[in-house]
Amino acid sequence: MTTLPFARPRKNTVRASDPKIPNLTPEQLEEFGAEMDAIRQRVIADLGQADADYIRGVVKKQQQFEVAGRAMFYFPPAWPLAVAALSVSKILENMEIGHNVMHGQYDWLGDPKLNSRIYDWDNVCPGEQWKYSHNYIHHTFTNILGKDRDIGYGVLRMDEDQKWHPYYLGNPVYALLLMTFFEWGVAMHDLEVENIVKGTRKMEENKQLHAGIMKKVKRQALKDYLIFPALTGPFFPLTFAGNAAANLVRNVWAFNIIFCGHFPAGVATFTEEECEDESRGHWYYRQLLGSANISGGKLFHTMSGNLSHQIEHHLFPDIPARRYPELAVEVKEICNRYGIEYNTGRLSKQLFSVARKIVRLSFPTPKPKTAAPADVEVAAAA
Amino acid sequence: MTITQRVLGSRVLAALASPHGVDRYLEQMNPMWAATEVRARVVSVTRETTGEHPVATLVLQPTSTWRGHRSGQYVQVGVDLEGGRRTTRCFSISSGASLPGERFSITVRAHEEGIVSKYLVREAQPGLILHLSQAEGEFTLHESAATPTNNHLLMISGGSGITPVMSHVRTLLRDGYDGHANRKVTFLHYARSPEDQIFAEELAEIAAADNGVTVHLRYGNHFFDADELERIVGDFRDLDTWVCGPGGLVELVQEAYADSPRLRVEFFKPPAFAVDGDAEGTVAFARSGEAAANTGESILEQAEAAGLKPEYGCRMGICFSCTSRKTEGTVRNILTGETSSLPDEDIRICVSAPVGSCSVDL
Ligand code: FES
């Protein structure tokens, strides 16, 4: 990474108000926003055949992996291969196809099969509900404490400003559980169970959501745990286990990619006050500070649905994800000019950073003793 | 429905093939295999006229999922254009009524602004695959050869509006409705010029044959005139009438018929280009029946000001919660400044402002 005039403090969580984060003036923010808008406009005007071919190509590949995987369950010695192929298929489907299509990235194609209003992914979370909590809530209120429910998913303590409670001693365990059952976690996300426990949300509000989830769960279970296993006759248990394994692999992968996108050290959180009457420029600024990238090769980016470019995804959530690597070059350059850190690192680095945060935040955060809290944290982390 | 079709369309198979659906797999293997979707292969393309805006008839072989059509209906045709965008437009079917899976034809005029019509007339080659809907529309005939009435039927059309009307006449003649015993058909058509006349030869044959169908062709500046119609057919308000053509013609005919329930109308919806400034005209909210003067703000804001409660999320164009269908008019994307005048287009109303009048399905 290039050296920057401002280095971010290495502490668990960073507040946007931290003195080490460049505070852009309203004029700067406006300019910054205009630069981002210009990039966006240029790419949108350039969308075309290559993007169409790409997504259709990915769908075709994914279907081939799926067919191959499902077919190999008829030949038990190939079980590990079958699980591998099905896992690849499920990962591609959830990340590069489902997530991105449901973001509306390909609505311009006019293809009903790749339209955000119609597509519903291979996941127990109903697309309709996911689009609300993800496309709207998470992408609009990214990293605003108390508003972005993706901070810790209502289960984990992922920010120092979430008040500590003995419950959080289990933070690492909850994280492991959430990882294992990620698709279920995502499905339950909208029910806001934590708010029901707190008493700020009523059971009745969940009725409809609950019905939607049950319908989707049934459909998914029927497919992976009944019909496909039954179709392999005597190999029912093997196929059943294989499908479960593929879902597990996909869960673990998706969880890790997503957690590396928002929770490595250096990613900033904001308060509601800071975002009141927010300008477009500030929204971009917040997206940038609230996300982190993972570096890697082309295959890695595809397998992560290009969410390894979480920064670009958050700046331009409705632009086809295959464009993010090309956009990253410009975004980095802009960051450099404004002195904003562009948070990126290898998967291992970002994962380690996230894991450390999960563990450290399971304990209460010591109160800063001096007037320069940031420095204390730096020392503590060193 | 054959057994294969029933199996392919079953819910169990749909569940197994989720999330893409059975059709996506079949389509990968052979574009003419389908479970529920309708697609068609272009069999032939024949030029009908050579004028400035040429017309062509495309014979289509639909997939077995096609349920057939009644004369006067239209079909949505989706074309994968260069640049990856699938664009869908409605076209009237010009051939006589078809049975499930049977070939039919559409007749299309290449309009200057019509990207799909231009493509179909100028570029389409036999073998091209089109994405279709089932046949739609209520501009249909209630006459049949099996149970003929002695009604006198009147068809009025203008320009390429001849297509659904031609479908009626072809169906009647094919099914043996010969117009004798007082069952007459009168066909009145307005075209720009003889060179622009679609189906000229066939119309001449129909006119010459002893079939009870009389054909009246009018060219150039010869506009519809109620008195003239009266001279041809007598009291036209009592005749079952089908009219299809450009807005101007349809309006004149509607006026002449007052509120006669005998008149059936089919409009052609050309893209309406804004001529006035941004904050002019009216914004119509079609579903709720509300309308208000265009203030130039986003459609979402204007709808809310009119007391509607459209769905929304981010209000900044990223979440797609507010996507609604614009049926007519021009809108400008507030973020990119791009304008678009396509009819029946899905837009994000939080970042779209009307340019002049427009109509949204809200
Ligand atoms: S409200 Fe989110 S795109 Fe319009």
Summarised one tens digit per residue, pLDDT across range B31-46 is 999 999 999 999 999 9
- Best of B10, B316, B320, B349 to disrupt the A interface (most A CBs within 10 Å) is B320
Q: Specify the range with the lowest mean pLDDT, choosing from A58-67, B46-55, B224-233.
A: B46-55
- CB-ligand 1 contact for B314 (6 Å cutoff): yes
State the first-to-last Cα distance of chain A, in angstroms, to the nearest integer. 20
Q: Looking at residue B44, what is its pLDDT?
A: 97
Is the bond leading into B19 cis (omega within 30 degrees of zero)?
yes
- Supply the CATH number for residue B346's domain: 3.10.20.30
Same domain, B257 and B295: no
Q: Is B141 contained in some domain?
A: no
**pLDDT, tens only, A263-305:** 999 899 999 999 998 999 999 999 999 999 999 999 999 999 9
Q: How confident is the model at residue B89 (pLDDT cuts 50, 70, 90)?
A: confident
Task: Flag whether pLDDT at B5 surpasses 90.
Answer: no
Q: Considering B132, B166, B199, which residue would you say is the last residue of a domain?
A: B132
Same domain, B186 and B239: yes
Q: How far apart are CA B320 and CA B322, in angstroms?
A: 5
> CA of B173, closest CA in chain A: separation in Å?
38
Q: Is B25 contained in some domain?
A: no
Same domain, B180 and B238: yes
Q: Do B86 and A111 touch (CB under 8 A)?
A: yes
> Which residue in B15, B24, B85 is closest to A223 by CB distance?
B15
Q: Do A51 and B20 touch (CB under 8 A)?
A: no
Q: Specify the range with the lowest mean pLDDT, choosing from A114-123, B120-129, B251-260.
A: B251-260
Q: Do A119 and B314 touch (CB under 8 A)?
A: no
Q: Is B25 on the interface with A (CB under 8 A)?
A: yes
Q: Which atom of ligand 1 is nearest to the CA of B313?
A: 1
Give the bridge partners for A15, in sequence order: A269
Q: Is B336 on the interface with A (CB under 8 A)?
A: yes
Q: Please give the interface size between A and B, counted as residue pairs whose CB atoms are below 8 Å apart.
A: 101
Same domain, B287 and B211: no
A260 touches A136 (CB < 8 A): no
Calculate the alpha carbon distances from A81 to A68, A69, A74, A78, A88 in Å.
9, 7, 12, 5, 11
B232 touches B226 (CB < 8 A): no
Task: Flag whether pLDDT at A378 surpasses 70.
Answer: no
Token pair for B114: 């019509």
B263-267 and B282-285: which strand pairing? unpaired
CA dihedral A283, A54, A96, A232 (to 10 degrees): 160
> Which residue in A52, A113, A140 is closest to B84 by CB distance?
A52
Q: Is B22 contained in some domain?
A: no
Q: Considering B208, B235, B267, which residue would you say is the last residue of a domain?
A: B267
CA of B234 to the centre of ligand 1 (A): 56
Instruction: Residue A16: name the closest of A261, A288, A344, A365 by CA.
Output: A288
Token pair for A380: 């503590």
CA of B316 to the centre of ligand 1 (A): 6
> Which residue in B84, B336, B346 is closest to A49 by CB distance?
B84
Q: Is A262 helix (H, G, I), strand (E, B) or coil?
A: helix
Same domain, B49 and B121: yes
**pLDDT, tens only, A194-238:** 788 888 888 888 888 899 999 999 999 999 999 999 999 999 999
Q: How confident is the model at residue A28 (pLDDT cuts 50, 70, 90)?
A: very high
Q: Do B319 and A140 touch (CB under 8 A)?
A: yes
Domain total of chain B? 3
Q: Is B277 contained in some domain?
A: no
Q: Looking at residue A379, what is its pLDDT?
A: 39
Mean pLDDT score of chain A: 90
Q: Looking at residue A7, what is its pLDDT?
A: 39
Same domain, B215 and B302: no
> CA of B137, closest CA in chain A: separation in Å?
21
Same domain, B208 and B170: yes
Q: Do A120 and B19 touch (CB under 8 A)?
A: yes
Exposure class string for A238-271: b at 16+ Cβ within 10 A, else e: bbbebbebbbbbbbbbbbbbbbbbbbbbbbbbbe
- Supply the CATH number for residue B67's domain: 2.40.30.10
Q: Is B91 contained in some domain?
A: yes
Domain ranges for chain A: 26-53+123-360
Q: Looking at residue A380, what is its pLDDT?
A: 39
Mean pLDDT of A167-186: 95
Task: With both helix axes pointing from N to C terminus, report the angle between A79-91 and A49-72 in degrees, rounded to the nearest 10.
Answer: 150
Q: Do B16 and A121 touch (CB under 8 A)?
A: no
Task: Flag whether pLDDT at B73 surpasses 50.
Answer: yes
Same domain, B165 and B90: no
CA of B154 to the centre of ligand 1 (A): 48
Q: Looking at residue A367, what is its pLDDT?
A: 72
Q: Do A135 and B24 touch (CB under 8 A)?
A: no
Q: Which residue of A has its CA nearest to B320?
A: A104
Q: Looking at residue B243, what is its pLDDT?
A: 95
Q: Looking at residue B180, what is its pLDDT?
A: 63
A268-269 and B339-340: which strand pairing? unpaired
CA of B321 to the centre of ligand 1 (A): 5
Q: Is B23 contained in some domain?
A: no
**pLDDT, tens only, B326-341:** 998 999 998 888 888 8
- Supply the range of the domain harboring residue B349: 282-360
- Cβ-in-10-Å burial (0-12, 13-18, 19+) of B262 comes to middle
**pLDDT, tens only, A118-130:** 999 999 999 999 9
Please identify which residue in the block is written with the tokens 């009903």. Answer: A112
Q: How far apart are CA B328 and CA B281, in angstroms?
A: 13
Task: Flag whether pLDDT at B7 surpasses 90.
Answer: no
CA of B313 to the centre of ligand 1 (A): 5
Q: Looking at residue A377, what is its pLDDT?
A: 42
Mean pLDDT score of chain B: 89
Q: How confident is the model at residue B1 (pLDDT cuts 50, 70, 90)?
A: low
Share of chain B above pLDDT 70, in %: 93
**pLDDT, tens only, A140-160:** 999 998 888 888 888 899 988
In terms of average pLDDT, the best of A59-73, A204-218, A358-372 is A59-73
Q: Is B12 contained in some domain?
A: no
> CA of A343, closest CA in chain B: separation in Å?
23
Q: Which residues of A touch B321 (CB under 8 A)?
A: 131-132, 135-136
Task: Flag whether pLDDT at A1 surpasses 60.
Answer: no
Same domain, B286 and B328: yes
pTM across the whole model: 0.88
Task: Flag whether pLDDT at B84 surpasses 70.
Answer: yes
Same domain, B164 and B116: no
- CB-ligand 1 contact for B326 (6 Å cutoff): no
CA of B323 to the centre of ligand 1 (A): 7
Q: How far apart are CA B203 and CA B72, in angstroms?
A: 17
Q: Looking at residue B178, what is its pLDDT?
A: 66
Q: Looking at residue A5, what is its pLDDT?
A: 40
Q: Looking at residue B142, what is its pLDDT?
A: 78
